[in-house]
A and B are shown apart, each in its own frame.
Chain A
């Protein structure tokens, strides 16, 4: 009868809340019925089973991580078992090689090229089947996206398109150069939650939510409450 002595198991997914597409990820976690929180300070990492580093500008995120000494905190929590998913800029921060510049967290053996497609006029949407994640096609949104140009042998490539890798993972890290949080599809968020050992809602596994709109995140950023 010493249940109260059982150590609390990390059960939250955090979204790094420094800059970028924070609300969009939070909204997806909410749809999956997962407990989540915004992560801004060292103490916010406690009880995180997983952390999402959102899209944004990687130089800005890297600078803020360094100035506020969150980088080492994040690495410590990664060592205790916290999983990390980086979308777009987040993937750049997680890579251990960044073409032409210094790597930030270096947690996955791959080389990535910032802004691999060109300007905003080269941003695009497409779709693809990612077998490991779902049998249904997943909508993909690429915004000034990076390209993963090489992955090491311990890295499992989830999606390869033409001459680049668009999604990959190792035991503790997931990276996507596209933005699942900018589509109505929950498949990758669900996949990450399972990777973190959590139990996301199981309905609408990969089908795009019919009532999702690009403005859905705005319910978390209202002016008029």
Chain B
């Protein structure tokens, strides 16, 4: 990927700012998401809460299903490849979708290496729990970052933790004298040049969305107020009682995240949210956020 292509890929993510990216598993859901005002859809066979329930190995989705969804909507289409599975990424690039999510929601294919994203023309979004993880992915060529949160739980606590961690580290970096950056970068696993860039910008050098556990309009507004640029909603929409209503409500709350009156209006009469999961009750080996590093 040359510098120009990388810039275009970062800029596509900029155009998604303030928007909601929704997980969809078929054409009907994709159309519903587009109609509700999603800025992009994530095409996958099973939403994270089903992946969690079903267990086993979760892989890239059936390309035929992704292609159908791509044909059905005019908003950008994203799809997931397993961490380190660069051939799944090659297939998604050959499918000419718009963005690849190298995702911990799928079973990792490589426990040592993430995909070398600089080899691709297609943009990548990657999950992160802290600043070091975010900058390592950007160093590998990611054009967009999202918090990992804990997908498929309907519990926003991990997304909040990851966002607050990143913000705290960004603030520390911004305030420290430059001679302290080397040590901070070493201790937190930050690529040094990118650490300097973050210090200058006072934020991540690419768009950063929140993901993993967002289930209500208030959750979306919470993440926006914490400083993310937009939100991913996975299981939260299509595992709720009224997906169309909830999808629209989360779009509204994300756009007007600073306006409690409007978030309130968006929150009324939505029916049941998806069932939530307490993080402490998930067996440690089933925590998705720990996949990748």
Q: Which residues of A contact B (CB under 8 A)?
A: 17-24, 40, 55-57, 59-60, 63-64, 67-68, 88-89, 114-115, 118-121, 123-125, 141, 143-144, 179, 182, 214-215, 217-219, 221-225
Contact = CB atoms under 8 A, between A and B. Distances in A.
Nearest to B9: A120
B229 to A, nearest CB: 7
B139 interface: no
Contacts of B70: 119
B227 A223 contact: yes
A24 B10 CA distance: 13
Interface of B: 4, 7-12, 14-19, 34-40, 70, 74-77, 93, 96-99, 121-123, 166-167, 170-171, 173-175, 197, 201-205, 227, 229, 248, 251-252, 254-256, 259, 262
A225 B203 CA distance: 9
A118 B98 CA distance: 9
In order of increasing CB-CB distance, the 8 nearest A-B pairs are: A224-B174, A222-B202, A63-B37, A224-B202, A19-B18, A120-B98, A60-B37, A57-B39
A155 to B, nearest CB: 24
A217 to B, nearest CB: 8
Nearest to B228: A223
B11 A182 contact: yes
Contacts of B76: 57, 120, 144
A56 B12 contact: no
B38 A143 contact: no
Contacts of B16: 20, 56-57
14 contacts: A19-B39, A21-B14, A56-B39, A57-B38, A57-B76, A63-B251, A118-B96, A121-B122, A125-B4, A144-B12, A215-B201, A218-B201, A219-B201, A219-B202
